[in-house]
Amino acid sequence: MARRKPLPADLPVQVERLDDEGLGIGRVQTGEVVREVRLRNALPGEAVQARILKRRRGTWFGNAQPAEAAMHVDRRATACAVFPRCGGCALQHMPAHLQLERKTAALADLLAEHGVRAARWRAPITGPQFGYRRKARLGVRVVGDQVFLGFREAFASRVVDMTSCPALDVRLSALIAPLRAVVAALSVRRAVPQIEVAAGDEAVALVLRHLEPLTQEDVVRLAALARQHGVAVYTQAGGYDTVTPLPGHPAHLLSYALPEFGLNVQFSPVEFTQVNAAINRSLVRHGTAPLRSCGLVADLFCGIGNFSLALARTGVEVCGLEASASAILRAEANARRNGMAGRARFEVSDLYGDGAVDLRLPQNTDGLLLDPPRSGAGPHLGRWLTPQIGVVSYVSCNPRTFAQDARLLQDAGFALTEVGVFDMFPQTAHVETLGVFHRR
């Protein structure tokens, strides 16, 4: 079997443009082959020195070091010592207004590609640029006597050597150094692949994944960390069904408030919630507004009730559907806790599965709220667009699948009356979108 040629160490590259992920695109000639190169920490027009780290389908990927004399006029100093090596952020070298311009332009291009025109573009909704991230999965790697804990490197599986992170909620960032010290003292430190951290409005929790059983001494060390830093510690020996609090420690739910609606929503550390509390509050406000005159709204992919409960608080009757049984149980508990059990009901339904073919929404459903995964609303969206439905509010974390579904909605007789970007993940290429569709 022929061995692959080693990657070149450093190459001069002229950056032509940026791709959807914020990578600078350039070309280099190697022998008779002109090869595409995609680089982090690059801006259009810059001459950079590229450190090639990975190849995929003939394209080289790596990190860029711009020549001082050829830097883009809008390049800014980064807030993190491990950028661009760390894969947690992609756009720290780009000012916030340019990040938003790029995200909006990328969404507009995709909509145009699918023949969808928006009647109105709302101004991008922004929030904190740093310290916003309330959930993260941190990798762990032990090399000799040294423990690395943090995000993984871009284009590699290595864990970045970090002691803090400006993107994380300050409470989570402050846990990185003590966590490294605790993991180093565990008997199973080489069998700890990751630690998930999560923060609510008032409390913090972590979930330690371990591939070997913890000893009593390990449990004592983790309990000491919990006391010293005021954090709830969970362990995970297998799948998410094995997540349990430390022996002798009660399960502790986190929560976040939606003050505009007088709601307090509880969640476990491993349940899905939006990572940016400020942007989530704005998204709930604007995402529910077009539906508040409806009689009955179906909230598809409802999760733990983030949108359902807010809509119910405004007087709308809501039926929430979601594939995860545990999320539905949490949504029902949140409805009871907030006095919404009479107006919001929830059912388990695999909206991607074959069973969704026969899904029948209540006959008087006149509004839809969609907040699907990255894969979009799925193959059954057209079946849910019954004649009674006059408005669809669509929250998306993937502009590509949003544009595809927007075309389907348009073909079904709906117009995209309003669309805009919500900056859920500043410093990254992630695009969160809210689109509002009305039946023509």
CATH of the domain at 18: 2.40.50.140
In a domain, 117, yes or no: yes
Per-residue pLDDT reduced to its tens digit, 93-111:
999 999 999 999 999 999 9
pLDDT at 34 over 50: yes
Residue 107, classed as helix, strand or coil, is helix
Angstrom CA distances, 150 to 21, 77, 234, 270, 426, stand at 21, 22, 18, 18, 18
One domain for residues 112 and 143:
no
One domain for residues 368 and 424:
yes
Rounded to 5°, the CA angle 77-82-84 comes to 70
pLDDT, position 331 = 98
Number of structural domains (the chain) is 3
In a domain, 208, yes or no: yes
Angstrom CA distances, 181 to 177, 321, 421, stand at 7, 43, 40
The model's confidence at residue 358, banded by pLDDT at 50, 70 and 90, is low
pLDDT at 359 over 80: no
pLDDT, position 3 = 59
One domain for residues 387 and 316:
yes
Whether the model pTM is above 0.85: yes
pLDDT, position 307 = 98
One domain for residues 313 and 366:
yes
pLDDT at 396 over 70: yes
In a domain, 83, yes or no: no
One domain for residues 282 and 372:
yes
Q: Are strands 296-300 and 367-370 parallel, antiparallel or unpaired?
A: parallel
pLDDT, position 360 = 77
- CATH code (residue 215): 2.40.50.1070
- CATH code (residue 328): 3.40.50.150
In a domain, 140, yes or no: yes
In a domain, 308, yes or no: yes
pLDDT at 1 over 50: no
The boundaries of the domain holding residue 242 are 135-254
pLDDT, position 69 = 80
One domain for residues 232 and 193:
yes
Percent of the chain clearing pLDDT 70 (strictly above): 98
The model's confidence at residue 30, banded by pLDDT at 50, 70 and 90, is confident
One domain for residues 208 and 238:
yes
One domain for residues 291 and 428:
yes
C-alpha torsion angle, residues 333, 336, 339, 341 (rounded to 10):
110
One domain for residues 353 and 205:
no
pLDDT at 39 over 60: yes
- Catalytic residue annotation: 397
User: How far is residue 263's CA from residue 33's CA, in Å, rounded to a whole number?
Assistant: 60
Q: Specify the higher pLDDT residue, 20 or 265.
A: 265
For all residues of the chain together, what is the average pLDDT? 94
